[in-house]
Structures are given as structure tokens and as C-alpha cells.
Chain A
Amino acid sequence: NAGVTQTPKFRILKIGQSMTLQCTQDMNHNYMYWYRQDPGMGLKLIYYSVGAGITDKGEVPNGYNVSRSTTEDFPLRLELAAPSQTSVYFCASRPDRNTDTQYFGPGTRLTVL
């Protein structure tokens, strides 16, 4: 049971480039989340999903897109990278509506220059 995995661990992008941050969980969890954490700050919710085929915006969705075609995968897409998107990105999952615990992946550190 690997839990929540994220790739890549680190990435440097140039302004205007695009990339996809991968998130996979093998716990058959319905709920999945994407957060970003800027230095010295708490986590901000970008997007979330309550099941395959269902996604919704969080607090800071601008500049990002998501999809959820399977229960396991929840990729986050950056289309036109900007320096303001330099951050650490965490994916998390949660079993169901009756369980509050969110399980976090190890994070992806992204720098946009």
C-alpha cells in the first residue's frame, strides 16, 4: 500500500510553460484534494473531487485545471506557468464523507522562473 504518491518531486519551469503534476492513491478513496503551500503559509485548496468524473474549485483555482477520470488519479494541470505559481503542491485523499482524515502525498516543489 503506497498511499498517496506524487510526481515529480521537484520541477523548474520557465514562464509560459505548461506541466501536469501527477497524483495517485491506491487506497480506493473517493475524495481527493490539491493544495498549495507558499513559504510560511498554511495550505490553500486549489481543487477537489468527490469521486471519478466530479471536480470542483477550491479557494485558489485560477491558473489550474484538474480532471478525475479514475478513482486513483487526480492530475493537476498548469497551462501557462507564472512566477506566482512557485509553491509546494500537496495532493491528499480521504476515504468517504464519514471519515475526516485526509492523507497527504509527499509534495511537489515547483519553481517558475
Chain B
Amino acid sequence: QKEVEQNSGPLSVPEGAIASLNCTYSDRVSQSFFWYRQYSGKSPELIMSIYSNGDKEDGRFTAQLNKASQYVSLLIRDSQPSDSATYLCAVNIYGGSQGNLIFGKGTKLSVKP
């Protein structure tokens, strides 16, 4: 069974702090990794994708990938109350063109003013 694991949280950080969200995956052949943000009662929204080992930065968000450790993380700098949401890690387990994703259960982030 191919799996994506995340801590469910809730993760609580004060406004302005760095929030660190972690994800591990079971399938070594995975090539594509994604972070989705989901506000309560809303649909998921893609915020970061990463394909190569190392860091990828986009504004206040940094995704980190370590394929040897089968680990992907998301850092949110200068956290804002508007960042409070559930963050879903997703992995393209099967590779190929179908783009089928396996999702983790999500980590609920709460940013306190």
C-alpha cells in the first residue's frame, strides 16, 4: 500500500513565526510532490510543487525535498493568521502521465495573532 504520512496537528504558531510542515512517503519511485492548502469548507488549492532534491522558494513558502529520506516539507515564513488552514501533502506515486495523486491526511495549521 503506497502511503503519504503527515502529522495531523493541530500545529499552532504565533504570528510572524516560521511554520514547519512535514510529510513522508513510502514509494521510492515517486517523482512529483505537491503542497495544497485547504481552508475549512473549501476545495484544495495548489501552493507549491517540487520535483528535485533541495529547496524551492516562492514568496514566503519554501518546499524542501529529500528523496533519499523520502521526505518533503513546507516552511511558511512570517506566518499570518490568513495562513490558518489544513495543508495537504500529495505525491504522484505512479509517475507517468495520469498524474494520479496520493494525498496525506493533512496538517491543520493555526496562526495566532
Contact = CB atoms under 8 A, between A and B. Distances in A.
Interface of A: 31, 33, 35, 40-45, 48, 50, 56, 58-59, 90, 94, 97, 100-102, 104-107
B88 interface: yes
Contact of A97 (B43, B99, B103): B99
Given A100-B92, A101-B49, A107 B104 contact: no
B82 interface: no
Interface of B: 4, 8, 32, 34, 42-46, 49, 88, 90, 92, 97-106
B99 A102 contact: yes
A73 B102 CA distance: 23
A102 B45 CA distance: 9
Contacts of A40: 8, 105-106
Nearest to A109: B41
Contacts of B99: 31, 94, 97, 100, 102
Contact of A107 (B8, B43, B49): B43
Contact of A104 (B4, B43, B92, B102): B43
Nearest to B97: A97
B11 to A, nearest CB: 15
Nearest to A41: B105
A23 B78 CA distance: 37
Given A41-B105, A90-B44, 14 more contacts: A31-B98, A40-B105, A41-B106, A42-B105, A43-B88, A43-B103, A45-B102, A50-B97, A58-B100, A90-B43, A100-B49, A104-B44, A104-B45, A107-B42
A45 B94 CA distance: 13
B43 A42 contact: no
Contacts of B92: 100
A90 B43 CA distance: 7
Contacts of A97: 97, 99
A42 B4 contact: yes
A101 B105 CA distance: 19
Contacts of B101: 43, 45, 102
